[in-house]
Amino acid sequence: MTQRLPTYFISHGGGPWPWLDDWRQMLQGLERSLADMPRQIGSKPKAVLMISGHWEEDSFAVMSSPKPPMVYDYYGFPKYTYDIVYPAPGDPALAREVADLIAAAGLPTRLDPTRGFDHGTFAPLAIMYPQADMPVIQVALKGNLDPAEHLALGRALTPLRDQGVLIVGSGFSFHNLRLMGPQGAAPSAAFDGWLQETVVAAKPSAREAGLIAWEKAPSARLAHPREEHLLPLMVAAGAAQGDRASCVYHENTVFGAITASSFRFDAAA
């Protein structure tokens, strides 16, 4: 029997940061946390399922290409960063299984045979699994960004954890590009404090209610003027169901002053 895998919500950094020396230096703590994930997980996953804050559709959608292309969804970076390739294969059979699980939960979904890896997927995976030797698929956020629906998506995906599929919500615990500097220090710290209380300290039975009401958190809309980078947390927490959470990455010097965190959900956490 395959051991049940944990789920994760990761703060994934910015743009093609692993290929930029100055950004990589700034994000050393994040890099260490991502590089440590294979050790934490133990056995090599059968596949990785990523929910990135950089893919939204009118319904949930599942990447189904056997050889996903690249999506360079960033602007103003050096030319070579538009030639990056993360050559992991897709898995059409797994994509169909994922879509069936989502549909069985009464949620709208479809297969997408053309979608490729965006930087919310390929940048952290380049650190986590640089060999790119296991299948990777993405699932799109639903564009209404409803937290309850994304928690339900996570619950629908839970059986995959027992099949060796690693579920990773890839976003950022603070995502206000206008406050990425000293002016973001206070709101990012306030919102992160709420995350630590709601995700880690609270009982799992109370966690979902807290996440659904995230807009009531301190500095919520300063931390997330639009919540697409927070919703992957809902999916990871939904897939965790009753598992406890731990904080596996936390620092307050990102982009000079921003507090950011990542979380692991595991029965042993």
C-alpha closest to that of 190 among 258, 95, 131: 258
| Chain position carrying tokens 């399922």 | 49
- What is the mean predicted confidence (pLDDT) over 174-200? 92
Percent of the chain with pLDDT over 70: 98
- Grade residue 1 by pLDDT with cuts at 50, 70 and 90: very low
The Cα 190–Cα 259 span in angstroms is 9
pLDDT tops 70 at residue 269: no
Q: Are 241 and 204 in contact (CB under 8 A)?
A: yes
Per-residue model confidence (pLDDT) at position 222 = 95
3-state secondary structure of 57: strand
Question: What are the extents of the domains in the chain?
Answer: 7-266
The Cα 31–Cα 166 span in angstroms is 19
Q: Tell me, what amino acid is at 194?
A: W
Q: What is the pLDDT of residues 4-52, one digit of tens each?
A: 999 999 999 889 999 999 999 999 999 999 999 999 998 899 999 999 9
pLDDT tops 70 at residue 179: yes
- Grade residue 2 by pLDDT with cuts at 50, 70 and 90: low
CATH tag, 7-266: 3.40.830.10
Q: Are strands 7-11 and 165-171 parallel, antiparallel or unpaired?
A: parallel
Q: Are 229 and 175 in contact (CB under 8 A)?
A: yes
C-alpha closest to that of 46 among 11, 93, 111: 93
- What is the mean predicted confidence (pLDDT) over 168-181? 91
Q: What is the pLDDT of residues 162-174, one digit of tens each?
A: 999 999 999 999 9
| Chain position carrying tokens 């697409």 | 228
